[in-house]
């Protein structure tokens, strides 16, 4: 493998492992000035295999430094997904001197004895800011009679009940447990029967409180990723529920299905723990792939990358609450050059040079009388990704069938769509990297995250309108800092 083959498709703004396979983000946490990203990692192959926790750190959530593997398999099994917390008050007794990190993860044991595999929850702790870890000597700390699909603990400190809470994926439901010390766990409740999508196994939950935009009100949000099911064309993706949590029971306040992202490549996303209150943000990132084709994507020597970190909020429209998401503001300094598009009427096509390795485009669009309009990203002369707004069908469509390499999966070429309520006025924010496009619409009201495998990130951008005109009231082509 030549260096250029290995570097082909390597992202500039997204974390990808130097070599070998990565899936879910794990143990996302902020501690002593560093963001930690642990991740599902197979150090022996660029396909999924026996899981470890890989590790990377960042000061700004965008530029990551990969560190040695944090957690290795042991006699209890391989290391599946989980979370990390700071044990500020030494509830575990692991930290007599000063607070440190505790990882809570799933041990996955698969052998002649354990068919089906046994999944249980275990602990490890670190005295040196996550560089090295000690496994708790009485692991596992939480087991269950039925061993299958009992995984992905996300733990947080619940102030009003003065306890740790764990949300855990248990087949097609999420179970909630509580603990005074991360070691002894007590079952509280189970959520998910007769609600939400059950098109795949439930995985990687997260539960947190968010303040509603422009209000004093707050809501609890439960993320649930649902695994691949061959009958479900979209593959694996993430749904969420908005409701209340009383320290024991989560209750959703709606019956409709809610999707975190309308693209195919945002899975298993969870939020960072312990971001200081003065900062106050809830930030998450996801694995930018899909179980339908993740093992086949055409990178060489490494596989997978994470989405951009995104700040979460809640918006109330009429009586419905939706999660909104925007790339974190730390990204802004990565773009210093900009071209302004002001009050431009577009009929047919307007092209801009954009010969850059990554970029961001923001557009405030008013449709005049076009039936379809949109943006084409010309990665090269022959690799084009199209974003089309169809005003009759009221859809935003991302079409990546001509975006580059796609022969590794039939499913990859199928269009990705969002139903829009208003196609006359639209705010778009697109982030383009070597092998991805992330779309954020109307100030974060919707997101569409999509991998692409073109020969180059971008050469030109074209804005287009069919059967009429559209107007860009205000727009920017943002280019990398020099």
Q: Which helix (H) or strand (E) holds 5?
A: helix 3-7
Contact 85, 116 (CB under 8 A): no
Q: How far apart are CA 271 and CA 26, in angstroms?
A: 9
- 37, 61, 85, 268: which one contacts ligand FRU (CB under 6 A)? 268
Restricting to residues 137-156, name those near ligand FRU by CB under 6 A: 151-152
CA dihedral 401, 404, 408, 413 (to 10 degrees): -10
Of 419, 375, 380, 418, which Cα lies nearest the Cα of 402? 380
Q: Is 455 an annotated catalytic residue?
A: no
If the CB atoms of residues 207 and 324 are measured against ligand FRU, the closer one turns out to be 207
Dist CA 281 CA 273 (whole Å): 10
> For residue 7, what is the enclosing H or E element?
helix 3-7
- Is residue 238 within 8 A of residue 267, CB to CB? The reply is yes
Backbone angles phi and psi of 87, in degrees to 5:
-90, 75
**Which lies closer to ligand FRU via its Cβ, residue 204 or residue 428?**
204
Q: Which listed residue (20, 92, 106, 416) binds ligand FRU by CB under 6 A?
A: 106
* Beta bridge partners of residue 325, listed in sequence order: 312
Nearest approach, Cβ of residue 417 and ligand FRU (Å): 24
204 contacts ligand FRU (rule: CB under 6 A): yes
Q: Does 289 bind ligand FRU (CB under 6 A)?
A: no
Catalytic residue among 24, 87, 228, 261: 24
Phi, psi of 103 (to 5 degrees): -100, 135
Verify binding: residue 178, ligand FRU, rule CB under 6 A: no
Report whether 386 contacts 395 (CB < 8 A): no
CB of 203 to ligand FRU, least distance (A): 4
Distances from the Cα of 297 to the Cα of 21, 343, 473, angstroms: 11, 40, 38
Give the C-alpha separation, 390 to 407, whole Å: 27
Q: Which of 87, 199, 203, 438 binds ligand FRU (CB under 6 A)?
A: 203
Nearer to ligand FRU, 17 or 404 (CB): 17
Side-chain half-sphere CA neighbours of 407 within 13 A: 1
Residue 81 found at the interface with ligand FRU (CB under 6 A): yes
- Nearest distance in Å: CB 79, ligand FRU: 9
Is residue 459 within the footprint of ligand FRU (CB under 6 A)?
Answer: no
Work out whether 23 is an interface residue with ligand FRU (CB under 6 A). Answer: yes
Q: CB 307 → ligand FRU: shortest distance, Å?
A: 14
Which residues within the stretch 336-375 sit at the binding site for ligand FRU (CB under 6 A)?
A: none
CB of 26 to ligand FRU, least distance (A): 8
Residue 228 interacts with ligand FRU (CB under 6 A): yes or no = no
135 contacts: CB under 8 Å, gap ≥ 6: 71, 74, 122, 123, 124
- The answer to whether 453 and 462 are in contact (CB under 8 A) is no
Nearer to ligand FRU, 168 or 458 (CB): 168
Examine residue 24 and tell whether it contacts ligand FRU (CB under 6 A). yes
User: Is position 101 an interface residue for ligand FRU (rule: CB under 6 A)?
Assistant: no
CB of 18 to ligand FRU, least distance (A): 19
Are residues 264 and 286 in contact, defined by beta-carbon separation less than 8 angstroms? no
Quick check: 272 and 284 in contact, CB under 8 A? yes
Minimum distance between the CB of residue 227 and ligand FRU, rounded to whole angstroms?
A: 6
For ligand FRU, give the closer residue by CB, 106 or 385. Answer: 106
Q: Does 39 bind ligand FRU (CB under 6 A)?
A: no
Q: Does residue 80 belong to the site contacting ligand FRU (CB under 6 A)?
A: yes
Residue indicated by tokens 């082509």 = 477
For the beta carbon of residue 2, count every other beta carbon within 10 angstroms.
8
* Phi, psi of 4, deg, nearest 5: -70, -30
Rule CB under 6 A: is residue 221 a binding residue for ligand FRU? Answer: no
Nearer to ligand FRU, 117 or 454 (CB): 117
Q: Does 51 bind ligand FRU (CB under 6 A)?
A: yes
Residue 376 touching ligand FRU (CB under 6 A): no
Nearest-approach distance from CB 51 to ligand FRU, in angstroms:
5
| Length reported for the chain | 482
The verdict on 40 binding ligand FRU (CB under 6 A) reads: yes
Q: What are the structure tokens assigned to 100, written together?
A: 């440190």
**Number of residues counted as binding ligand FRU (CB under 6 A):** 12
Give the residues lining the site for ligand FRU (CB under 6 A). 23-24, 40, 51, 80-81, 106, 151-152, 203-204, 268
Catalytic residues: 24
């Amino acid at each position: 493998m030549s260096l250029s083959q290995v570097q082909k498709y390597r992202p500039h703004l997204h974390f990808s492992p130097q070599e070998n396979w990565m899936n879910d983000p794990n143990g996302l946490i902020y501690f002593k000035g560093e963001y930690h990203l642990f991740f599902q990692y197979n150090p022996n192959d660029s396909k999924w295999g026996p899981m470890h926790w890989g590790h990377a750190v960042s000061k700004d959530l965008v530029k990551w430094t990969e560190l040695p593997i944090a957690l290795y398999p042991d006699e209890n099994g391989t290391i599946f997904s989980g979370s990390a917390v700071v044990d500020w008050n030494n509830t575990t007794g692991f930290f007599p001197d000063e607070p440190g990190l505790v990882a809570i993860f799933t041990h996955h044991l698969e052998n002649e004895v354990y068919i089906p595999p046994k999944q249980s929850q275990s602990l490890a702790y670190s005295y040196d800011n996550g560089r090295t870890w000690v496994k708790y000597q009485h692991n596992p700390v939480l087991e269950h009679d039925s061993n299958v699909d009992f995984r992905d603990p996300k733990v947080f400190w619940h102030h009003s009940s003065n306890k740790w809470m764990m949300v855990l994926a248990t087949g097609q439901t999420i179970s909630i447990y509580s603990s005074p010390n991360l070691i002894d766990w007590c079952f509280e409740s189970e959520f998910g029967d007769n609600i939400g999508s059950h098109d795949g196994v439930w995985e990687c939950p997260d539960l947190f409180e968010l303040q509603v935009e422009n209000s004093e009100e707050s809501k609890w949000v439960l993320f649930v990723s649902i695994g691949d099911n061959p009958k479900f064309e979209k593959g694996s993706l993430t749904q969420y529920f908005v409701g209340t949590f009383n320290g024991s029971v989560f209750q959703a306040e709606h019956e409709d299905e809610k999707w975190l992202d309308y693209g195919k490549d945002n899975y298993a996303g969870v939020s960072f723990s312990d971001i200081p209150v003065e900062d106050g943000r809830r930030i998450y990132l996801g694995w930018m792939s899909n179980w339908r084709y993740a093992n086949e994507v055409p990178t060489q020597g490494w596989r997978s990358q994470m989405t951009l970190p995104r700040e979460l909020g809640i918006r109330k429209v009429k009586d419905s609450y939706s999660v909104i998401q925007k790339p974190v503001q730390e990204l802004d300094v990565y773009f210093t050059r900009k071209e302004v598009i002001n009050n431009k009427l577009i009929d047919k096509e307007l092209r801009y040079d954009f010969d850059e390795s990554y970029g961001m485009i923001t557009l405030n669009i008013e449709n005049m009388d076009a039936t379809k309009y949109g943006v084409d990203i010309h990665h090269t002369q022959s690799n084009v990704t199209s974003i089309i707004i169809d005003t009759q069908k009221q859809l935003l469509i991302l079409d990546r069938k001509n975006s580059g390499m796609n022969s590794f999966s039939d499913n990859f070429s199928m269009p990705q769509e969002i139903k829009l309520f208003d196609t006359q006025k639209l705010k778009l924010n697109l982030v383009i990297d070597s092998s991805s496009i992330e779309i954020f619409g109307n100030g974060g009201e919707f997101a569409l995250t999509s991998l692409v495998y073109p020969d180059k990130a971008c050469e030109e951008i074209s804005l287009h309108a069919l059967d009429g005109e559209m107007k860009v009231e205000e727009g920017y082509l943002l280019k990398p800092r020099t």
